[in-house]
A and B are shown apart, each in its own frame.
Chain A
């Protein structure tokens, strides 16, 4: 495995379900990110983790709960979502104090019914 991998690629869930998105990076980076991409809108940063510590929460509703057990893994736990939460969720990683180049995974397409 190389780069940034995300699972699942597609997820359909009801508003009362609990599910999780997983991200793993194989680049030796120490910062990981969750972004949300909705139609017709720019990418929105949701969370940033540096060395497993959350450094940014961009006013994200509590129904989205991130978890970063180590520098290589990042999860996004989903609970009681709304239909407007349907979007492409992208994970990214970078090296802190380096050039700052961001590398993205393929994304998880979430549909909330």
Chain B
């Protein structure tokens, strides 16, 4: 059974710092991995999607990497800003018989960027 773990559960950093959020998954048989951002009481916003054949994706100050063989992904945020404060969730789409659409989510890392 695929499980996704995100460490740490919470992170507090000063503005301007570069930071890394971690995601690990137990089964390397995945189609893709997706990073999301969630603000309090709101829905999820897709940040980056990495296909299983890719090693990384970049969008602005965000860079996500994928090491499928070791079951790890990182989300790198450069020059953090208070507006980056949110919960960041990682999700994988397992390869399953029948092609299930099910994503498996981690519990998220709550990031606070202090001015």
**B-binding residues in A (CB < 8 A):** 4, 6, 31, 33, 40-43, 45, 48, 50, 55-56, 58, 88, 90, 92, 94, 96, 99-107, 109
Contacts and interface: CB of A to CB of B under 8 A. Distances in A.
Contact of A90 (B34, B44, B101, B102): B44
Interface stretch (B11-19, B65-73, B77-85, B103-111): B103-111
Contacts of B46: 101-104
A69 B28 CA distance: 36
A21 to B, nearest CB: 13
Smallest CB-CB A-B distances: 6 pairs: A104-B44, A104-B43, A43-B105, A106-B43, A42-B105, A101-B49
Contacts of B63: none
Contacts of A100: 31-32, 49, 93, 101
Given A43-B89, A90-B43, A107-B42, A102 B103 contact: yes
A56 to B, nearest CB: 6
Interface residues of B, number: 24
Contact of A99 (B42, B44, B51, B104): B51
A92 B100 CA distance: 15
A28 B107 CA distance: 29
A88 to B, nearest CB: 8
A6 B46 CA distance: 17
B41 interface: yes
A18 B44 CA distance: 27
Which of A31, A58, A90 has most B Cβ within 10 Å?
Answer: A90
A6 B101 CA distance: 21
A99 B43 contact: no
Nearest to A45: B102
